[in-house]
A and B are shown apart, each in its own frame.
Chain A
Amino acid sequence: MTTTAFLTDSTLCIGCKACEVACKEWNGVAEDGLEWSGFSYDNAGAVGHSTWRHVKFVEHSPEPGFGGNAPELSSWGFSSDVCKHCENAGCLEACPTGSIVRTEFGGVYIQPDICNGCGYCVVSCPFGVVERNPDDGRAFKCTFCYDRQKAGLVPACAKACPTESIKFGGIGELQAKAHDRVAELERRGMTDAVLYDAAGTGVGGTHAMFILRGDPRSYNLPPRPEVPTVHLKKAWTSSVLAAGLLLTGSLLAFLTLPERKT
């Protein structure tokens, strides 16, 4: 079984949101309101329990030479966000029921028949992807179209993407492709093109990579995501210290201060 990945190339994205729609249709995800946010053309805001693919809209101020197609045009950044399917996944580590597993394709999958809605994965995701559905009670996120992959199909979002901005394939092949693409964009004058894959952070790389222009922070991508298990050592050390103090303190107190006989 090959380990698979997404490569979402924002320089090819046209912001059509076909990925959002295809994802909702295939996975039967409920609609999440028809509210105008006022944040460019983004009305969903972020990935969540009812939004597993989410197109971000980043408008740039007009700047000669920055436009993608003509020097006089201002450029728009669109980037389709998704669960990162981390190599060291905080949600997977935190899940107390074993509902969250790593699939044979390398993705991180919440088994909906096991999740009991404890909500611990929600606070353990460094990308704020997992969310508890208040109506259903369970946590939801992108499944990496585990069912489609099992059947040898491409995930719904990648299948629907009309510009192949969302690429799906073997992780090694896509990583090579990503580096080539960034180099190519740089050759073409887009020197601000970057690959965001959280490699070299506590997350240890992701199965969903992104090619962006400019600072990933404009796209709500953290510069240094960290898997929460890195805090376990100092936390348990403090716990052992607290337990030791309670034990020895109580022993000392009762041994040295016996009750006065009345």
Chain B
Amino acid sequence: MGALAPYASCGDIWTNPPNLRREQRLLELRHEAERHGRVTAGGIRPRGAPFPMASPDTGYYGIPLLKQHPWTWEIPLYFFVGGAAGAAAVVGAIAHYTGADPKLVRDARWIAAAGAVISPALLVSDLGRPERFLNVLRVFKLRSPMSVGVWTLLGFSGGAAAAAFAGFMRDRYGPSLPLRVLENAGQAASLAFGLPFSNYTGVLIGATSIPVWNANAGNLPLHFGASGASAAVGLLELMGHHKNRALQAIGLGAAIIECWEGWRIESRELSGLDPLKHGTSGTLLRAGGALSGPVPAVLRALSMATSKERSRSLRRWASVSAVAGSLLTRMAWLHAGHVSARDWRQPLEIP
């Protein structure tokens, strides 16, 4: 007993205390189990071997520190719908102010109005307690992107719905002063709120604790804004405005920004960006990126340089690609958020 003699009087467990030799043997067994996935020593068949240990190199048993976002399919769809609707409202208002085709203005307003109705429905249905959705209107918090976003959505929805409704009534029953006031006010509101509404979701996920999101906080809003504009233009073109040159230019600009965003992600060497490059989320993001950036950019450029017939088909494919790319991009980012939160190494700064 030697060194342990003073403890001998403490009780029975000290008659047979753990000693260094046995502890070391146990550790050897654990290392063996770790290396081979099994232990060969006689009589030892631990269930669930090898035994994990917590350490500065392996973290706390690889249990993720961060919690994953609890959002379901409604949220990526909301990001897509909101982005497209916000950008459509802006494009529609500018088209109106510059005296473009009234049919384009009307269709843009309808996209915005549809988004104004669908967006809140998606948000409410994702809440843990949907019946309490009005609680977000208790406060306005400038430092909470969710709060700013909800109020932006409220302003946008009201404006976009009013503009579309007034336009519809005017077309049906003829112009009148109240309708004109409503239409102009609604359009102005949908323009003012549509600008932040088309990209704030980038701020929403950028300013969080999820490593892959906050590592991109400075470019997500531009990325999402371009994605929204791309989707809005694509939808308008698919609604029959496939000859409009201004839409072509906006679509091309958005696709070029998306190319740049993709290049930015691919060129940055940062372990926190792994979910954007590997696995399901990486594949999704790359597919979404290709459909949002290079594919429509090339198709649009080609459509401007070829014959009329081919041009129309190329442009239609560019529109389809842009819309699909935008939806896929939002799904990829939310999926990457899950993967990033599960990566226990990131917040512990373990390479």
Query: Which residues of A come within 8 Å of B, CB atoms?
Result: 36-40, 42, 45-46, 48, 56-59, 61-62, 64, 70-74, 90, 93-99, 114-120, 122-134, 136-139, 214-215, 217-220, 222-226, 228-229, 231-232, 234-239, 241-243, 245-247, 249-255, 257-260
Contact = CB atoms under 8 A, between A and B. Distances in A.
10 contacts: A62-B20, A72-B3, A116-B128, A123-B210, A128-B347, A229-B143, A232-B145, A235-B202, A238-B206, A250-B246
A232 B60 contact: no
Interface residues of B, number: 99
Contacts of A97: 132, 135-136, 138-139
B146 A242 contact: no
Contacts of B61: 37, 39-40, 42, 45
Which interface residue of B23, B91, B205 has the most chain A CB atoms within 10 A?
B23
Contacts of B243: 259-260
A225 B56 CA distance: 16
A224 B344 CA distance: 14
Contact of A70 (B3, B143, B199): B3
Contacts of A259: 100-101, 243-246
Contacts of A258: 98, 100, 246
B129 A217 contact: no
Interface of B: 3-4, 7, 17-20, 23-24, 27, 47-48, 51-56, 59-61, 63-71, 87, 90-91, 94-95, 98, 100-101, 126-130, 132-133, 135-136, 138-139, 141, 143-147, 150, 195-196, 198-200, 202-210, 213-214, 217-222, 224-226, 229, 243-250, 253, 257, 337, 341, 344, 347-350
B195 to A, nearest CB: 4
Contacts of A235: 145, 202-203, 206-207, 217-218, 220-221
A128 B69 CA distance: 11
Contacts of A136: 128
B347 A116 contact: no
Contacts of B126: 118-119
A223 B348 contact: yes
Contact of A215 (B56, B127, B145, B208): B56
Given A96-B136, A130-B67, A219-B54, 13 more contacts: A40-B54, A93-B143, A119-B126, A126-B209, A128-B64, A128-B209, A238-B219, A242-B221, A242-B222, A249-B253, A250-B91, A250-B250, A259-B243
Contacts, number: 305
A246 B337 contact: no
Contacts of B249: 249, 252-253, 257
Contacts of A127: 65
Contact of A125 (B20, B67, B257): B67
A58 to B, nearest CB: 4
Given A116-B133, A222-B348, A62 B127 contact: no
A93 B139 CA distance: 12
The winner among A120, A133, A257 for most chain B CB atoms within 10 A is: A120
Nearest to B226: A242
A139 to B, nearest CB: 7
A94 B51 contact: no
A64 B94 CA distance: 76
A70 B1 CA distance: 13
A190 B19 CA distance: 20
A144 to B, nearest CB: 19
Nearest to B27: A61
Contacts of B145: 94, 232, 235
B54 A59 contact: yes
B141 A98 contact: yes
User: Which of A215, A249, A257: most chain B Cβ within 10 A?
Assistant: A249
B146 A239 contact: no
- Candidate in A40, A130, A251, A253 with the most chain B CB atoms within 10 angstroms: A253
A154 B61 CA distance: 32
B136 A118 contact: yes
Contacts of A224: 349
A239 B67 contact: no
B144 A119 contact: no
A138 B18 CA distance: 47
B133 A217 contact: no
Nearest to B349: A223
Contacts of B47: 38
Q: Give me the 8 closest cross-chain CB pairs, A-B, nearest first.
A: A117-B128, A137-B128, A242-B225, A220-B60, A62-B23, A215-B56, A116-B132, A231-B217
A250 B348 CA distance: 44
B208 A123 contact: yes
Contacts of B253: 245, 249, 253
A217 B59 contact: yes
Of B128, B146, B219, B220, the most chain A CB neighbours within 10 A belong to B128
Nearest to B62: A39
A4 B221 CA distance: 39
A114 B3 CA distance: 60
A247 B144 contact: no
Nearest to B209: A126
B60 A250 contact: no
A123 B209 contact: yes
A138 B128 contact: yes
Q: Which of A57, A61, A219 has the most chain B CB atoms closer than 10 A to its own CB?
A: A61
